[in-house]
Structures are given as structure tokens and as C-alpha cells.
Amino acid sequence: MEEPANRNEEEYSLKDFCSLLSISEATGRNWIKLGKVQPAGERLGKPYFSASYAKEAKERLQGEGSSFLKSRRNKKYISGTAPYRNYIPQDSPNLRQVEALVEALGDIMLTEGQIRAVLAECAIQLLCQAQRGKAGITEALYQAQGEKAEITDVLCQAQGEKAEITDVLCQAQGGKAEIKENFLLHYSRGEINLGQYEVLLKELLDREGAAYTEEQCLAAQEGITGVFCIPFVLEPNVDILGLLYISLKNIGERKAAGSYYTPTHIVQRLIAHLFPEKKIGQVKILDPCCGTGNFLLQLPDWCPMEQIHGRDIDQVSIAAARINMALKFPEAPVSLIKEQVRSQNFLLEETGIYGLILGNPPWGYQFSKEEEKLLKRKFQTAKGRHPESYDVFLEHALGSVPCGGKIAFVLPESALHVKSHLAARRLILEGAQIEWLEYLGDVFDKVQCPAVILQARKSESPFQTKGMEVSGQGWGFKIQDNRKVEAEYFNFHMTDKEYRLVEKAGSQGQVVFLKGQAEFALGIVTGNNKRFLKKEKTGGDEAVLRGADIQKYRISSPQCYLSYEPEKFQQCAKEPYYRAKEKLLYRFIGRQLVFAYDNQQRLSLNSCNILIPHVPGMDMKYIMAVLNSRAAQFLYSRKFHSLKVLRAYLEQMPIPLAAPPQHQEIISLAEQIIEETDPQKRLSCYGEIDRLVAAAYGYTAQEYQEIQNLTPKDSLPMAL
């Protein structure tokens, strides 16, 4: 047994080491196997690490040159800033200003104090424009700064270049007012009076709301004075402060906090659906994670401040949100704004009841261990290994509205079907009615994660789908019938006609399922394709198949080779799966079902997974033919809306029991497709299989034609 060099030094178990690095224990074990990390030794068969090594590993992981950063699991360590371009309307002149500001900063990472100072500069400008002379600034200043036309071409030209912001930028604003630039500096000298909003600006500049001195201002601006020359234009209900804040924050910090600021056009869609008419009554409205207040900004102007509430744990965001509310409600007293919008933990501190709760809860927020313990005691959705923040927000929101009250959240689409969110879906089925669901696709800047808008009404009645509105990108319908909905998977993509066709396939009684009757295995994850994969075969290398090599029924000539050394791979299935006498290979990534037959014991990468069915009396090639058919593609695309072909989905696919003659005919046609070299003959065989499979599902000729008409893109065979 190996002992550490210093027994008095703190030690980390594998679990604690992985927690420090924000990786899973499975990844940690793989890194040990691959030699990426070196334990100090083992005790009772379990590795441990010294505290100094753990600290060094974390620093190395965060380092600019670390190859670990390319891992999807460690994007929280990505550093830098970037303008959040799709957050506000694209024609906003302020978008160019923020882009210029971020570009001027280059690689400079601002401290919290500097970020607060830049936000304060913008806030002073906006408040001055809103007050029009009430804050001790001359009318000439507003004329110079307040009209979009005054932001001249020379200003835009100066900002468009990659050079530092020069005096030309400041001159574009100057000459017409006593204060031409750097409003924050003039404010710190007592030359700008903001009246009742003074307290809001102080809170933005300092956590304690202390007076802001000229010395503090000069210290905050050291080395970045140029960014305080940029003018901003007041635009009604445009969250300029939010755009600025999210663009200046470190990208890694944003991801760790689950901060994905919702584009304004999506916020407006959500709001418009909630308020089709000017009828609201005395409904209390809450955004429990309001950030800088964009959802509150987009509420109808006739909705009074007295009914609007915002909560967030980020004090800078709350300070900015209060200023946004001051701009939206110029007649509202500051005391009311501060009472309604405040820094508070919705999950652990908020106990109020609201008629409407809306917003975009954090995605993937990293709770502390103590927070996790508290959440696990309080919420059903937090019982898993690591609570998902938006699940817990959804649960608490449902518990914070009365019967008939509503919630409207922007959520990841995965909340509707991924197993880890099962508890949240059960709560919806037990106590709510979904009124509107919109599939948004990828709408967040540089984030590949499809989102949805979920609007639901709290109810004591059994869940039903009748009357539910469903929409997507360019399509929409209202469900006219009640459907069977299970918590395992929420799928509302289907029209009533499509739903009836899907239900018919699964209700004939002549179908079987692969669950419990098939083996599944993942392809090889090398951990470093550049190191392991070769374009030409040498020595003991053998071909390895990728997802791109798999076509319907057929396998293309392999383009990659490797030496099979499973102990060196990051992840690898047991060898018998690859060496099986016969198996089916299928594409893992994509919306189409694409299966091919392999009896040559070939290897495959993780983009090409393995299925070995063991259904009594059912030939493997028959199952391949069914899964490659248009009918199966229709069922799969309507039942599961995913870019990954997951085992759980394939296990739920109904496989029809064809009569023995048809079963054998389908096998024969499948073998012809595999062997045939003439594309037209292969296509003819495919069409005949299609017709036979549709009949086996119980579809009439007319229904099969409807399936083809409903899914023209999905129905086309691939590379036969």
C-alpha cells in the first residue's frame, strides 16, 4: 500500500477530488486509468489525492492551455467575456455600444467593483435622459445624448475598429453639454444630482450603499477609462443594463450560476400569451429569479408597480433591476421599488402566494453542499443525487400559486423527457394543467440546448390535454381530445390526426417491445481521437465504424482504423458486444432511425451504437427492416423529439408481429438490399418492405399514405 509523502497533509477521496474539479466520479476514474491524474496512493482499494495535488489539478484544469477544457463536462472553466448579441432587439443602437465596449476591453477581466462602475456609468446616463433636466443636467446634454440620430457615423466607425476607444469616440458626444463623457466621474464629484434615485445608484456601486468618492471612481477606472466615454441611449423597456452586465461577466461564472438571459423577443412572446387583453385584476406577479428584470420590464405598461415583484440572489442584478423599474415606472417611489424587487433566495426564503409566477429559472446552478441538504429536505424534485435548479424552481412555483394561479417558465426541452426530471413531470400531472407549450429550439446565444415555454395553471382536477395549445417554429395547433400522458415522457408534438395514427400502432395487440429482450452497448470513447484514430491501416490496426458509416441496411467502407487496446480508452463496452456473431449498428446522433446489419465483428465508435435483439421467433434482420421503415420513423419522430437515439426510446418502439409469410418476405427483401448493387433495385425493395411493415402495424393503404404525407422529409430512405 502506497503512503502519501506527507501524512499530515489533508487528503481528498476520489469523490471529493472530483467534486473539487466539477467532474463525475466516472470521469475521474477514467482520468486515472488514462494517466491524466495521479492519485497519491490507495487505501482499502480506493484512490486518494493530496490537497496540494488537488489544488494544482484544479489550477491546471482552469488554465488556458488545458486540453481538459475541450471536455463538455468542464465548460464551467471557460473564461473570458462576450457580448450577448441576441439578448435585446437587433436594431437597438445600444447593441453596437456594448459590442464596442467589450471589444475595447479585450482580454481584460473586470473585477466586481469595475463591473459595478461600468453599469453605474450606463445607469447615470439613462436616468439623466429619463429625467430631462430634473437631475441638474442641461437640456443640451439630452439633445447630445438622447436622440438616436446624434450617435453619428463617426462614432460607429470609431467603435467598429479593433483599436482602443479613442478620443474621437468621446468627441462624437461632445461640444453640446457641460458633461461630455465619464458621467460616473462627474457624479463622484457631486456634479450630478439624481434625486430620489441616488440611493439606487449607490447600491449599484456598493453592496452597502455607501457614498462613492472620486478616489474610488478613479481607482475603478484605472486602465479602462476609454469605456466610460461610450454613450448609451434610453429605450423604453429595453434591458440595456442587463445586456451590459451579462456581457461583462466571466462566461465560466455565468455557466456555473446557470445564468442564461432570455432573449427579449422570447420574453415578449411569453408575456403576450399571458396578457392577451387588458384584464388582470389584483394579481400579484413574481419573477423568482428576475436577474436585471427583463421579464418585469416587458410586462404591459398598464400593469402597476404595486403588483410586480422580483427576487434574485445576485445583488448586482437586483440593483440593476431596481434602476430598470425606476425607468419603467418614473412615478413610483423608490421605497416601493426596493420593497417589491429585492435580493432573496426564492427556494429557501420566499413563502408568499402569487397569482402569476413567470421567468427563466437557472439551468444547472451549482448548489453548495449545505444548500443541497436543505433542498432535499424541502422539495421532492431535489431528492436525486444533485438537484437540478429549474426542477426545484418549478416545484416551489407550483406551491406558491393558489388553485387557478399560473406559472410561465422558459425551460430546457429536456425537462419534458429526460429521466432525471421525472419528479417534476409527476408534479405537473398531479397538480396542474398545461395551457400552452411552445418548442423554441436553440434560442440562447452560443448554447446548444433546445428550450420551451411552459405555461400551466394550478388545478385540483385530473390532468387533461383537451384545449392545450402547442406551437413551434412556424407551426401550431390546439389539442381537441384528451390523450393518455405519462410522466416518463411528455410529448405534445403530434396533431390529433398524428396522435390517432401513433396510438393505432401500439394498440393492435400484435406488437412486442425490445425492453427486456435486447442487449445494448455503446461504441468506443477513445478520449483522444487524434491520438488513437488513423486514416490508414498499419500493423495490428483494425477498422472502426463511425455513425457516418452507417446507412439504412448497409455499412459504408470504413474511413478510420485503430489498435484495439481497451485499457487505454476512456470508455469501452465489453469485447463480446463488438465481436458478436451478428448485431445491429445504429447512428446515435440524429433524428432518423438508421440501422445496419453486421456479421463481421467490427468495432464502432460512440457515434455508432450496438443493438443485439433476442425476441423469440423474430429474426434480427426483420427487426432491422422494421426500424428502418417509414412507419417506424413516423412513430419514432412523433413519440420522441430528440437529437439522440437513446436506448430508452428504442425499448419503447412497438415492433409488429407479422404473419410468418410476411415475416420471411421482409427478411428476404432486407437481404436483397444488403447484397444488391443497383440503387434502383434497392429502392424498390425498400418500398416493398415499407408497405409490408405498414400493413403489419395495422395501417390501411390510406393511413400509410397519410404517414408519408405527414412526414415527407423523414420518409425518404438514406443512401440505399
* pLDDT (tens digit per residue) in 288-299: 999 999 999 999
* Number of other residues whose CB lies within 10 A of the CB of residue 275: 15
Helix ranges (H only) for 404-489 are 422-431
Which tens digit of pLDDT belongs to each residue from 200-225?
Answer: 999 999 988 899 999 999 999 999 99
Question: Could you give the CA distance from residue 109 to residue 248 in angstroms, rounded to a whole number?
Answer: 8
Instruction: Give percent of the chain above pLDDT 90.
Output: 67
- Rounded to an integer, the average pLDDT of 174-188 is 74
- Average of per-residue pLDDT across 1-24: 65
Q: Look up residue 518 and give its three cell numbers.
A: 435486447
pLDDT at 255 (0 to 100): 57
Q: What's the one-letter identity of residue 144?
A: A
Label the pairing between strands 542-545 and 603-604.
parallel
Integer Cα distance of 335 and 200 in angstroms: 10
For residues 481-494, average pLDDT: 92
Poorest-pLDDT segment among 141-150, 270-279, 469-478: 141-150
Quote the mean pLDDT of the chain. 86
Predicted confidence at residue 71, as pLDDT, reads 41
Distance between alpha carbon 433 and the CA centroid of its chain, in Å? 24
User: Residue 286 corresponds to which cell in the numbers above?
Assistant: 413574481
Contact criterion met (CB below 8 Å) for 95 and 263 = no
| Cell triple for 20 | 473539487
pLDDT at 140: 34
At residue 539, the pLDDT reads 87
Cα 256 from chain centre: 13
Query: CA end-to-end span of the chain, whole Å?
Result: 58
| Complete edge-to-edge strand list for the sheet that includes strand 595-598 | 518-521, 608-613, 583-587, 595-598
> How far is Cα 410 from Cα 397, in angstroms, rounded to an integer?
13
Q: Which residue has the cell 446634454?
A: 141
* CB of 613 closer than 8 Å to CB of 623: yes
* CA-based torsion, 509, 510, 514, 518: positive or negative: positive
Alpha helix (H) residue ranges in 161-289 = 167-171, 183-188, 198-205, 214-221, 240-248, 251-256, 264-274
